[in-house]
Amino acid sequence: MEKVRVIGGAVTLFAKQPDRNMKSLAEEAVTGALKNANVEIKDLGGAWVGNCVQGIFDGQEMIRGQVVLHTMGIHGIPIINVENACASSATALNAAWAQVALGEIDVALVLGMEKMFSRDKAKSMAIFNAAMDVEILSKIAASLKASEADSEKNRGGNDTGKKKKTEDKSIFMDLYASGARAHMEQYGLTQRQLAVVASKNHFHSSMNRLAQYQKEFSVDEVMNDVEVAFPLTRLMCSPIGDGAAAAVICSDSFATKIGRTAAPEIAACLLTSGEPLTPGGDGSLTMLAKSAYERAGIGPQDIDIAEVHDATAFGEISSTEALMFCAPGEGGQFAEAGNTTLGGSIPVNVSGGLECQGHPVGATGIRQVVELYWHLTNQVGKRQVEGARIGLAQNAGGSAPKGAGALSVTILKV
């Protein structure tokens, strides 16, 4: 198998963009990625397009990639549509990587795109229900509601002084909140530590012109924001938005042919789905991470920068533990000590992460990889992680009866 390298990437603004359609977002990302890679449409041997909810949102099914790419003159090559919940474009990267590594093509385009914002908030939130087993959705929702009620009762009622806005949240916020409460009970995680993570990510996104949120918030401001589901406040949760991201990958021989010496290698690009945790055993993400580290010939201590799936602040904490950046149960303290902040021992979500850059779900996986590529090639300005040589992207999607619907770990290195 041949080494596969990333030679270009681009990301649109992630934001509520009701006046833009999918074609315009995709064209901006693809045009930018091709320009950044210094390749032309004629060089492409195939394109993989990750998208989750366009069919639900506006009825476009089956040929979503062809619809947007043909418009900009990309045709006559394989165009493969990939849907795998929030890990759709990370999964698209995995498929494209395999074809290049096998020598079937030299250059591939990977595009992630999504429009999620609607002025009908109920429509936007209902999208997320499709990422669960809809036959048992009502049972899941009832269980989560009972869990939150028990938590509130144990706290002596809703004593936080925050107004809940349950009509403006997806069921996944309840799921993350339930996991956070369990972590608090088992390990002593505090709400303030969750706020530290969110505040840190808002600091990072204040330096990112492509982020949906570009304003700093203090720990206290995060703590005192509207409660979504205890212990999560609104500023700890990823927003609804629209956006696209694209990357160009190629074979090692093609990179040499065009003189691209600053082209990080995709040293690992692995996928799995979740499974139940066995007593004393590793969780699904930890097992996947171990395989990725082995494939890349490194360990967690070698990672210089990470982009992880922080749909909420608790998502970042659980991911940093599962990826073995710190010990189980110590994610809150690890963040509180400044380790995951720009300049810390392992900066995490220097883009602002899903919480602050935003989470147009089909675009997130490849957006994370483009962020790593930019850092490893010194293209991000104020938020640059100096000397970064190895980066990790962790993406997740959906909730299946036996665990996460999709998990992805990708490692780039120079």
Q: Which position among 86, 237, 269, 326 bears the catalytic label?
A: 86
pLDDT at 167: 55
What is the amino acid identity at position 232? L
The CA-atom distances, in angstroms, between 60 and each of 16, 22, 25, 52, 302 are 20, 10, 15, 11, 43
Q: What b/e readout covers 41-63, taking b as 16+ CB neighbours within 10 angstroms?
A: bebbbbbbbbbbbbeebeeeeee
Question: pLDDT per residue over 282-334, tens digit each?
Answer: 999 999 999 999 999 999 999 999 999 999 999 999 999 999 999 999 999 99
* Cβ pair 379, 372 in contact under 8 A: no
* Cβ pair 106, 84 in contact under 8 A: no
Percent with pLDDT over 90 in the chain: 84
Is the pLDDT at 160 greater than 60, yes or no? no
Domains in the chain with CATH codes? 4-119+241-267 (3.40.47.10)
Q: What is the mean pLDDT of residues 116-143?
A: 85
This prediction has a pTM of 0.95
What is the amino acid identity at position 61? E
Mean pLDDT of all residues belonging to the chain: 94
Is the pLDDT at 154 greater than 80, yes or no? no
Question: pLDDT per residue over 61-99, tens digit each?
Answer: 999 999 999 999 999 999 999 999 999 999 999 999 999
* Cβ pair 368, 307 in contact under 8 A: yes
Question: pLDDT per residue over 16-64, tens digit each?
Answer: 999 999 999 999 999 999 999 999 999 999 999 999 999 988 899 999 9
What is the band of 146 on the pLDDT scale with cuts at 50, 70, 90? confident
Q: Which position among 183, 202, 309, 359 bears the catalytic label?
A: 359
What is the amino acid identity at position 244? A
pLDDT at 119: 82
Contacts of 81 (CB under 8 A, 6+ apart): 49, 51, 62, 63, 64, 65, 66
Q: How far is CA 172 from the centre of its chain?
A: 14
Half-sphere exposure (Cβ direction) of 151: Cα atoms closer than 13 Å: 21
Q: Is 86 a catalytic residue?
A: yes
**Which two tokens mark 319?**
């991911």
Q: How far is CA 51 from the centre of its chain?
A: 13
Per DSSP bridges, beta strands 305-307 and 79-82 are unpaired
